[in-house]
Structure formats: structure tokens, C-alpha cells
Structure 1
């Protein structure tokens, strides 16, 4: 059965990772100006400081993972005040701070020879986040979320490090899947941390009543769900189910279901050529008219207008 986090991560995909297996020695700093909505940073060895523009620096130790949201630039370096030696852009190019193109990427961005007392290895990946559904993940995260390494380290990061050391066929495919794994595990750990403010859909997953209902709605949005049928599926009385759902989610079951269906419809309109009528049936509406009325009420635009706008923006 589907769960909320899996559903929301459906259209979050790694765009490729930037790795450097040579040592990086102080003083060093890199500025990332890629304009991507989600990035993951980790130090395979050594430590670094991550400084988002307009925010306080955060220390990244060995095995720690940092998730950064927003398209604003940020700097990673040995100390918060170290000036960047290079700027990494969204097309993968690397320039000097004054804009001169550098012929290669991270391994040539001012890194010196290895020294046992100061070497480090940086892992960085950006993720493409497409669609209204996956945007719910970003809206639940702060500008920077730091997930410290556990007592046993970070197994997914260790697997990535081991894979980088190989030169085997299919390596990029393996790395992309391991990055997916690292992202999901990092999100889980972040939402369990005391400083996090996990969204209702995440907290509700563990609830024996509301969690069941969410899995039903996410797993089969086209079904003609009612409060009564969801209550039966959740194993609770109608009144208890409705009350518990509203307490955890901050909205009624039918309001949540409507929002979820409209999110799905938004993505189908932007990413497929299916007709509005076909999409309406896939997300639980009887016909195109019923979907159009609900869509306009929630988003302020008609389905056709949303499709035109989304494609013009390249979503």
C-alpha cells in the first residue's frame, strides 16, 4: 500500500552528483549557484561549513547530511569566512568567482594535494523536483536541515562512497538509486528530530487510524471515498475517524482528499497529454466538468489554463 512520503517523492529525482575523491585541504570554499530546489550535501570524510545566503552557517561533520531547499546560492568551505575559490553553476560548469570558465569541475577548483591532517571528501547532489505533489515535501523543510550521523554512521553514504571507488558498468544508475535511498532515509531522520516541524501527513502515518486512511487515499485516489467508507477501512467509527483525522491533519478527510486529487490532477495536466476528462476519472471525479469546478475553486484557474501555464514555465 502507498504511504504519503513515497507518494510525495514520486517526482523527486537526482539530477546527477558532483563527487571528488581527491583530498580537499584548507583553505577551500565552493559557491553553488545552480538554482535547483533541493540539494543534498555530505562529507564522506573531513568536515565543512555550509552557509546559505542570508542564513547562519552550519557545520557538516563526517557522515552528516544536509538538505538545502530553495534556489538561492550557498557556499561550502572549511570555515564560514573562507572566500570561494570557484562557483558551480546549474549547467555543471565551474567558474572563478569573477566569471572565468574553468576547464574541469570540482577536482580542479583549487584543491591541493592530500594531507593526512586536513583532507576531506565532499558529496553533493541536486534533485529535480517536479509537480505539485512533490512540492509538498519542500514546503515541509527549512532552508537547511542538518541530519547528524548516527552512532553507526550512515550506511547509505558508506555504500555511495564504496560505489564511487569502483569503475564498473552501470555506476551512474547505481549511484542515482543510492542517492534516492539516502534522500528518503535523511527525510525520515529529519522529521523524527526534535527541532523539526514534521507535517501532519508524516505524523499521521504512524497513527493506526489516520495512517490507514491516508494509505487508502494515496493508493486509490480514483475510488469514490466517503468519510464512512474511509472509517470502515481505518477500523474506526465514523465520528471517531473524522475527529481523529481533523486533529492530526488540521483539515477534514474530504478536504484532504480533494487537495490530494487536485495535486495529482495538476501534475497529470503538466506532465501528460491526457484529456481533462481522462484525468478526471483517474483522480476520482465523474467527468471533466466536475474536475474543472473543483480545480478552479482550489487553484484559481481552470485545468486547461494550468496546463498552458505549467508548460510555459517548463514544469
Structure 2
């Protein structure tokens, strides 16, 4: 972040609240301004509230692909009571503070995304479909219960509509048939679960609705081009 594109970088902000110069010199003490607060002056003209989601995943990647690299909502375009609330809470040091800040950051992110997609020229089909009384419920059923042995007929029965009507409406709004969406959702969940070093292939298969590790492996390889074991090996951080 800079006041002008020509301003040279001065500080690198690392994960875990660590700041250094470009040459690796630690600035955490020199820039400390209080609880979770850092800067080069106590009365600067600009204040930034910074929050970070440090773990990437296949599920979150669906959302990231639908967003621009930098999303900007100006104050005159959008206002929320969550911003001053977060600004107040972030400088406190009380019991349970991390949980409070995590929840506020989640709420702020949701509010920003709602405002952005409401005005965006194009929004992903799965986002628009959430508001549909039939397809929205279908999506929530598939997402919340991926291990259930869903079929279009059983899903339509739960919703009280015909199989043909559900299939047609789902495809129109989401852009793919219900079972194709379910497969991609299951495999995205499986990919995220495979990042956990202690998760066995059998346990992952059961959680995402495949009857055996072999069935999951076959589907994973067919859609993603690599086996679950190969994906897991590539996803592991490289030791330094």
C-alpha cells in the first residue's frame, strides 16, 4: 500500500504480526503503537484495518475466481456499522478477543461480498441461485450434506417439485446439472480435507459421499487429472 505508485516500498508485513524492512530488519518494536496496532506515527492521516485469511482451499477458490484481484468499495458507495465496531474491538485486549475479531472479520467479509455482488455487472450463477426458493434450498442441501446419497429424484422429493422442473431450473441458474455440481462440490471438499495430514483416504471418502477410497480416487483422478495421493503430496508445504 502506498500514497502513490512511485513511492518505493519501505516495510514488509509478514504473517503472525511481524514487520521488517526490505532487508529483513525487525520493526515490530519500533512500529508498535499499542494492542494490535503498528505504524510510523501516533497521529497519521491514514489508518488501515487489516485482516487476513491465511489458509487457501478449494472451496474458497470458487469465490476468489469470481472476484477481481482487488475489490474496492468506497465510503460513498457503501457504509457499514461493522467497520467502526471492528476498529474499536481490534485495539482491545480482553478474554476471547481472538474469537470476537474472527467473527467480526467474517461478518465484514460477507457484508462486503453482498454489496459487491449486488452491484457487479456479472455474478456467478451459484451466488444468484441462492436467492431462488427452490434452487437455493437445493444448493444448501447439497452443500450441507454432501455425504448423503443424493439423486435428482430424491432432491426433488425433498423440495416438493418434479425431477424435470428441478433439473431445468437448477441448470438455468447455476449453469450445470445438480449432480455435476454435487460432484464438483464433493471433490473440492475432499481436496481441502486431503490437506490435513492425519486424514485417511477412507475417512475423506465417507465424509464427502463416496462409498470407498477407490471410488473417490477414481472420481478425483477423472476430474482433476491426479490421484488424491498425488494431490496431497503436492499440497504439503516444502520444509525449509
TM-score interval (norm. to shorter): 0.7 to 0.9
Provide the C-alpha distance between the structure 1 equivalents of 2:142 and 2:105, rounded to a whole number of angstroms: 28
Check the 8 A contact 1:129/1:135 in 2, yes or no: no
State the shift of 1:100 in Å: 5.8
Q: How does 1:140-151 map to 2 (within 5 A)?
A: 140-149=66-75
State the shift of 1:161 in Å: 1.4
Equivalences, count: 234
Check the 8 A contact 2:21/2:27 in 1, yes or no: no
Q: How does 1:47-196 map to 2 (within 5 A)?
A: 76-90=1-15, 92-97=17-22, 99=23, 101-104=25-28, 106=31, 111-112=40-41, 114=43, 119-149=45-75, 153-195=79-121
Are the structure 2 counterparts of residues 106 and 253 from structure 1 closer, same or farther at C-alpha, using a change threshold of 3 Å? farther
In terms of fraction of residues, the more helix-rich structure is 2
Unpaired segments ≥5 residues, structure 2: none
In terms of fraction of residues, the more strand-rich structure is 1
Provide the C-alpha distance between the structure 1 equivalents of 2:233 and 2:24, rounded to a whole number of angstroms: 38
Q: Bigger shift: 237-246 or 166-175?
A: 166-175
Instruction: Return the match for 2:146 from 203, 210, 221.
Output: 221
TM-score, with length taken from structure 2:
0.84
Q: Name the SS for the 2:49 alignment partner.
A: strand
Are the structure 2 counterparts of residues 110 and 128 from structure 1 closer, same or farther at C-alpha, using a change threshold of 3 Å? closer
2:212 is aligned with 1:287: yes
State the shift of 1:150 in Å: 6.3
Check the 8 A contact 1:95/1:102 in 2, yes or no: yes
Greater relative CO, 1 or 2 (CA 8 Å, sep 6+): 1
Check the 8 A contact 1:221/1:282 in 2, yes or no: yes
